[in-house]
Amino acid sequence: MRQRQNAELRKPEILRNFLEILVEEGIEGASIGKVAKRMGIHPSLIMHYFSTKETLIIEAVDHIVHEYGVLIDRMKPRTADPARRLRRLLDTLVGDEWHRVSEIAADFSVISISFRNPEVDRRIRRLYSLYKRFLSGELRALMDAGLIERRDPARRAELLMSMLEGYRHFKHFFVSERSAKSFRSDMKRAILRLLGTGGD
Amino acid sequence: MRQRQNAELRKPEILRNFLEILVEEGIEGASIGKVAKRMGIHPSLIMHYFSTKETLIIEAVDHIVHEYGVLIDRMKPRTADPARRLRRLLDTLVGDEWHRVSEIAADFSVISISFRNPEVDRRIRRLYSLYKRFLSGELRALMDAGLIERRDPARRAELLMSMLEGYRHFKHFFVSERSAKSFRSDMKRAILRLLGTGGD
DNA sequence: TCGCTTATTAACTGTATATTCAGTTAACAG
DNA sequence: CTGTTAACTGAATATACAGTTAATAAGCGA
């Protein structure tokens, strides 16, 4: 019996290690045995905290989803000035911070799991709903301020999310081929055009 | 020895069954044993044709990539009339056919694999290159015809691909919530706006 | 110090995994 | 009919897997 810790410390530590393996080896390579070996503990200790692998996966997904939730929350505007809000929104959405939170490899694993795991699917959908609600609200405010074209905010939000998801996906495959910077500014301009700002 | 077939028949049959399981259970659930059981053959027969699981995976990926390649090829215009070409291109890109070729669940699995398998990664990148080259060419032609705004065709192609990838991703999560039809027409209009057509 | 809770390990189970190898059977060419 | 090739099977490999149960040991309050 090496180190003795309590659940408050051990559980997140297990979760962290599981997520690391998920990134490195994908869901097909993420096993309880590997997590235990990496941590230098007995596999059954993991079973002690998470009674089944399924719950370990769910809690890992919850962790990722929660991090994105926090990020969305942090995006909430601190200023009333619409022009600054728009700029800040854009900078955040196509900024690096957003993409640093969670490894894209982990996200793909999670989505991959969601195809067969209804619980995981529900969580992703809930996150997207939150995201959409936030963006719709922001767009509506920008429309009211006359900064972007007045259209159905929810539908515009869906298009915007679609674009951002594609951006994220593509950045992974093209960031090395060409400077990520110019792709980012291209994307920003494309978003502004989609939203219908006066200029450009 | 039940049925005796030759490699030309057996190999693709194994591949087909493997892909089916990949869609149903993901890469984490796709095993040689399951494929064998589903086909009513012995696991070692699969090893006989594909000496390792790795090559089975690679050949499965090749199959999917090839199908997309064919699709891109089929998109090549049959008419010289630029307006019709633009319409046809749009219809194909956001059309159902494109998304029916391969199950999106399989695609996610493939991308998921690509994070750890350089061979698979290479194949995806090659496909994207082909796709980009095709789209760049088409956009250039449309620019020459004065139908869309004149800009760097390659960069516009990247933005377009990004948008389409996001569309594809999102359609899966939102198609039930709202009519896919209106989302599709929204997307079409967004693309036209991105490309910069005269009206809207 | 006693006793309780809980963290932790040890020793398992049964099943699934990919892969190997040696052998068998069918088809077919000479 | 014979020999060769290729399709196919069966059994066995070692390893990894998730999960169970029972035994220890540490910490802590009484």
DSSP for chain B, please give it: ------HHHHHHHHHHHHHHHHHHH-TTT--HHHHHHHHTS-HHHHHHHSSSHHHHHHHHHHHHHHHHHHHHHHTS-S---HHHHHHHHHHHHTSHHHHHSS-HHHHHHHHHHHTT-HHHHHHHHHHHHHHHHHHHHHHHHHHHTTSS--S-HHHHHHHHHHHHHHHHHHHHHHTTTS-HHHHHHHHHHHHHHHHT-S--
For residue A169, what is the domain's CATH number? 1.10.357.10
Where do we find the tokens 């910077």?
A: A181
Rounded to whole angstroms, what are the CA distances from A123 to A53, A104, A117, A118, B46? 17, 17, 10, 9, 38
Mean pLDDT over each residue of chain A, to the nearest integer = 91
Model confidence over B91-128: pLDDT tens digits? 989 987 676 667 889 999 999 999 999 999 999 999 99
Is residue B200 domain-resident?
no
Distance, CA of A16 to C1' of D14, in Å: 31
Tell me which residue in A115, A182, A190 faces B108 most closely, judged by beta carbons: A115
Residue positions counted in chain A: 200
Residue B52 class from Cβ within 10 Å (0-12 exposed, 13-18 middle, 19+ buried)?
exposed
- Provide the pLDDT for residue A45: 96
A130 and A169 Cβ atoms separated by less than 8 Å: no
The residue type at A9: L
Provide the CA B6 to C1' C28 distance, Å, integer: 13
In a domain, B103, yes or no: yes
Alpha-helix runs per DSSP H in chain A:
7-25, 32-39, 43-49, 53-74, 82-93, 96-100, 104-114, 118-144, 153-174, 180-195
pLDDT at A96 over 80: no
> Which pLDDT score is estimated for B178?
65
Q: Are residues B85 and B121 in the same domain?
A: yes
Nearest Cα to Cα of residue A117 among A53, A23, A184 = A53
Cβ atoms of B49 and B7 closer than 8 Å: yes
Same domain, yes or no: A11 and A70: no
Q: How many residues are given for chain B? A: 200
Query: Are residues A80 and A164 located together in one domain of the fold?
Result: yes
Say what the pLDDT of residue B1 is. Answer: 45
User: Are the Cβ atoms of A187 and B159 closer than 8 angstroms?
Assistant: yes
Residue A177: pLDDT band (50, 70, 90) is: low
Q: CA-CA distances (angstroms) from residue B165 to A131, A143, A193, B183? A: 19, 27, 19, 14
Containing structural domain, residue A185: 63-195
- B45 and B79: one domain? no
CB contact under 8 A, A27 and B27: yes
- Are A42 and A2 found together in one domain? yes
Q: Do A169 and B165 touch (CB under 8 A)?
A: yes
pLDDT tens for each residue of B153-200? 999 999 999 999 999 888 888 766 667 888 999 999 999 999 998 655
- Rounded CA-CA distance B129/A115 in Å is 28
- The answer to whether residue B131 is domain-embedded is yes
Return the closest-CA partner of residue A174 out of B155, B137, B102. Answer: B155
Give the mean pLDDT of A131-140.
96
Average pLDDT, integer, range A140-164 = 95
Are residues A42 and A119 located together in one domain of the fold? no
Chain A partners within 8 Å of B105 (Cβ): 112, 115
Query: Are A143 and A44 within one domain?
Result: no
Mutate to test the interface with B, among A22, A23, A24, A28 (most CBs of B within 10 A): A28
Nucleotide nearest to A42 (CA to C1'): C9
Question: Hey, is A135 helix, strand or coil?
Answer: helix
B185 and B114 co-located in one domain: yes
pLDDT score, position A79: 86
CB atoms within 10 A of CB B160: 24
Give the CA-to-C1' distance from A144 to C23 in angstroms: 80
Residue A28 Cβ < 7 Å to strand C = no
Judge whether B127 is closer than 8 Å to chain A, CB to CB: no
Q: Lowest mean pLDDT of A65-74, A119-128, B88-97, name the range.
A: B88-97
Give chain B's domain count: 2
Considering the domain architecture, whether residues A33 and A120 belong to the same structural domain is answered as no
Q: Which residue is nearest to nucleotide D11 (CA to C1')?
A: B44
CA-CA distance, A133 to A139, in Å (whole number)?
10
B74 to chain A, any CB pair closer than 8 A? The answer is: no
